[in-house]
Amino acid sequence: MKYEWRKKEKEYYLPKAKPEVVKMEKFQFIQIKGNGNPNGDEFSEKVGALYSIAYAIKMMPKKGIIPQGYFDYTVYPLEGIWGLDEEGRKKDILDKNNLVYNIMIRQPDFVNKQVFDLAVDLTKKKKFNKYLDEIEFDYIDEGMCVQMMHIGPFDEEYKTFEIMKEFCSDNKLSIKDKNHREIYISDFRKTSPEKLKTVLRYMVEHN
């Protein structure tokens, strides 16, 4: 039976549209870093590079390669850790050209560095993407977080962040990092802005 994150891991990926505390585990990711406006070609190509590796891993059995512990699964959603460069922090309004990001796709438990390296090699033989060599494999443990589902355009996320910050204040929690995580439950290439579902998450600690 196919492992589906939407059904098995609702606490991580399908929170309600109100703030909640969640304890994250250590998970493995494939990731690529960058900066600048996400509406540009570079960001799109980096997303494409990530997905090509993610699907190369998922489809390995069709190539006759079965990693130890392999099971069929739904590819996890795209995620991103977002912040601003030094210049961007000095500005009163958000300039997307000053954004700094680390976009990623979580991988199932059977994926390790060896499986990842093999997927990169397989993908390079299949199609060219100049960003393939920039993709890294890593483990991330966020620990305690506050998260909330944002429904609507990306440009209105600030409203959800304000609700989350008020929740943290009311519950004696401090946000550990100015950067935040976004998890794209909707495909933003195919979904109208007002219907977009995006999980917003801060790492937090007790005051």
Model pLDDT, residue 61: 98
Model pLDDT, residue 134: 98
- Please provide the average confidence, as pLDDT, over all residues in the chain: 97
Residue 57 has pLDDT above 90, yes or no: yes
pLDDT tens digits, one per residue of 68-90: 999 999 999 999 999 999 999 99
Residues paired with residue 79 on neighbouring β-strands, in sequence order? 104, 183
Q: Which of 1, 2, 26, 33 is nearest to 12 (CA)?
A: 26
Domains defined along the chain, listed by start:
10-25+143-207 (3.20.80.10), 26-141 (3.20.80.10)
SS3 (DSSP) at 52: helix
Alpha helices in the chain (DSSP H): 5-8, 10-13, 41-58, 86-90, 113-126, 157-170
What is the C-alpha separation between 77 and 118, in angstroms, rounded? 21
Model pLDDT, residue 189: 85
129 within 8 A of 66, measured Cβ to Cβ:
no
pLDDT tens digits, one per residue of 131-189: 999 999 999 999 999 999 999 999 999 999 999 999 999 999 999 998 999 999 999 88
Model pLDDT, residue 53: 98
Residue 6 has pLDDT above 90, yes or no: yes
- Report the percentage of the chain scoring pLDDT > 70: 100
Residue 127 has pLDDT above 90, yes or no: no
Q: Which of 188, 183, 178, 179 is nearest to 199 (CA)?
A: 183
* Four-point Cα dihedral 9, 197, 179, 99, nearest 10: 140
Residues paired with residue 151 on neighbouring β-strands, in sequence order? 197
Q: Which amino acid is at 40?
A: G
Helix (H) or strand (E) holding 163: helix 157-170
186 within 8 A of 196, measured Cβ to Cβ:
yes
Model pLDDT, residue 79: 99
